[in-house]
Amino acid sequence: MNILNIALLFSSVAFLFYGANCLLSKKMKDEFVRFGLEKQRILTGYLQLFGALGLIFGYLFFPLLIFIASVGLAILMFLGFAVRLKIKDSLLESLPSLIFGLINLFICVSFYYKFNLS
């Protein structure tokens, strides 16, 4: 298993978990209130789930879907990182969103060059 497949597996499993958690968890509901984004919680949860499913179905059936899903997840995570900085969370609290943004950036750039999408 190469690093790209590990990144795909890690990201898809994590976003299935975090997407469901975002929709169902009281703690996540409270976090979105703290972020000042309570109205975006449901949308964020579904985007995370769709992104995870895009990575999975893209891997199994349609590789271009991996590129699309990873771009969306990278944007979502970089925006999440920006929100964390804006509300003055610590670097340790902000780091997961940055790491997931970078993982998905790695995935989308890898697939961009792998399939010559230029």
For the chain, the domains span: 3-114
| pLDDT tens digits, 66-107 | 999 999 999 999 999 999 999 999 999 999 999 999 999 999
> Is 22's pLDDT higher than 80?
yes
pLDDT band at 113 (very low <50, low <70, confident <90, very high): confident
Instruction: Give the pLDDT confidence score for residue 12 in this predicted structure.
Output: 98
How far are the Cα atoms of 5, 26, 29, 49, 112 from residue 67, in angstroms, in the given order?
13, 32, 29, 16, 7
| Among 12-16, 68-72, 114-118, the least confident range | 114-118
Alpha helices in 25-89 (DSSP H): 26-35, 41-60, 64-86
pTM over 0.85: yes
